[in-house]
Amino acid sequence: MKLRLLKEFIIEKLIFLSGIASILFVILIFTFLLKEGISFFKEIGLKDFIGGKYWYPISEPERFGILPLILGSLLVTLGAIIIAVPLSIACAFYISEVVQGKAKDILKSGIEMLAAIPSVVLGFIGIVTLVPWMKKVLNLPTGLTALSGSIMLGLMAMPTIISISEDAINAVPKAYKEGALALGATRWQAMYRVVIYAALPGIIAASMLGIGRVIGETMAVMMLSGNAAVIPSTLLEPVRTLTATIAAEMGEAVHGGLHYYSLFAIGIILFVITFMINVIADIFLHRNKK
């Protein structure tokens, strides 16, 4: 009897530990980031860091303004959203409302496959297909542009958005659709006048999670968007994102130097952005469940 109680106790504690482990990891990562980044903010103020227009970390005197990087990230992300969200919502509706039987299963597993492709492979494919094509068709000096990054990132965000949106659409009570049809609505009218409103919180949450993925993505965007740390004015120029900066420069930065710490500071900014997006997504997902 006593042994059983002990067993219960151990199992309970083990489950508890694994439960809080994820939270613990987040806290540890954030403290580590803060610890490394904070000394940078002591040297260079937050305002100069975020508002500065020039990112010359190794020139003399060095400049640590990440505004071009933030704008680069935002531009690429915005482009990716514009591409991915409408396509994904349409795709989710197609899967849950239109297509049936075997084709549905094929489509669903196809989308899961898309999520499984490593981003470096997507970036590589982009470099050999998308980039030259862009250059030729749009007649640009280089195909490595924000738009190329947006297209690939949009592609990468789609599986997340599609599968969560589809869940949300599936969770819409059948009664809404029946009610609309019984009033003489066509299937299409029932969808865009009723079902989409019921599924909206879930669709928004899905989009936010997709955006979170896009902002945090590094490899493909580094390979495709040209990496020029200048403030972009159109989608057809090379840009550099926050993530690409960290990935590209971490290896070269002198350990313990200001440049090194500045990359951690970028990490903090990135963390804050994705954290906020996840929180917003969570709020909408939660609202959906109610």
CB of 184 to another protein, least distance (A): 4
What's the token pair of residue 258?
């200001």
**Contact between 186 and another protein per CB under 8 A:** yes
78 versus 181: smaller Cβ distance to another protein: 181
**Tokens standing for 63?**
């400049």
Q: Name the residue with tokens 């075997």.
A: 102
Structure tokens at 6: 């002990």
DSSP 52: -
Member of 180, 208, 223, 224 binding another protein (CB under 8 A): 180
Residue 159 in tokens: 């599986």
First to last CA, the chain: 42
Q: 267: which strand partners?
A: none
Q: Which residue has the tokens 């599609």?
A: 162
Where does this chain touch another protein (CB under 8 A) — which range of 15-23, 48-56, 169-177, 259-267? 169-177
Query: Is residue 254 close enough to count as binding another protein by CB under 8 A?
Result: no
**Nearest alpha carbon to residue 219 among 118, 81, 133:** 118
| Residue 234, helix vs strand vs coil | coil
- Among residues 35, 63, 193, 286, the one that binds another protein under rule CB under 8 A: 193
Q: Locate 117 and state its tokens.
A: 């492709």
- Does 179 sit near another protein (CB under 8 A)? yes
Q: Which is closer to another protein, CB of 117 or CB of 185?
A: 185
Stretch that binds another protein, among 44-52, 102-110, 143-151, 184-192 (CB under 8 A): 184-192
Closer Cβ to another protein, 152 or 194, answer by number: 194
Q: Judged by CB under 8 A, which of 86, 173, 256, 257 binds another protein? A: 173
Give the number of other Cβ atoms within 10 Å of residue 143's Cβ.
22
Q: Which stretch binds another protein (CB under 8 A): 6-14, 50-58, 179-187, 279-287?
A: 179-187
Contacting range for another protein; rule: CB under 8 A; set: 173-181, 221-229, 236-244, 272-280: 173-181
Decide if residue 142 touches another protein (CB under 8 A). Answer: no
Handedness of CA 137, 140, 142, 144 (dihedral sign): negative
**Residue 194 is a binding residue for another protein (CB under 8 A):** yes
Residue 48 tokens read as: 């100069």
| Nearest one of 262, 159, 174, 148 to 209, comparing CA atoms | 159
The nearest distance, CB 209 to another protein, in angstroms, is: 22
Among 21, 29, 183, 250, binds another protein (CB under 8 A): 183
Query: Which residues are near another protein by CB under 8 A?
Result: 173, 175-176, 178-186, 189, 193-194, 197-198
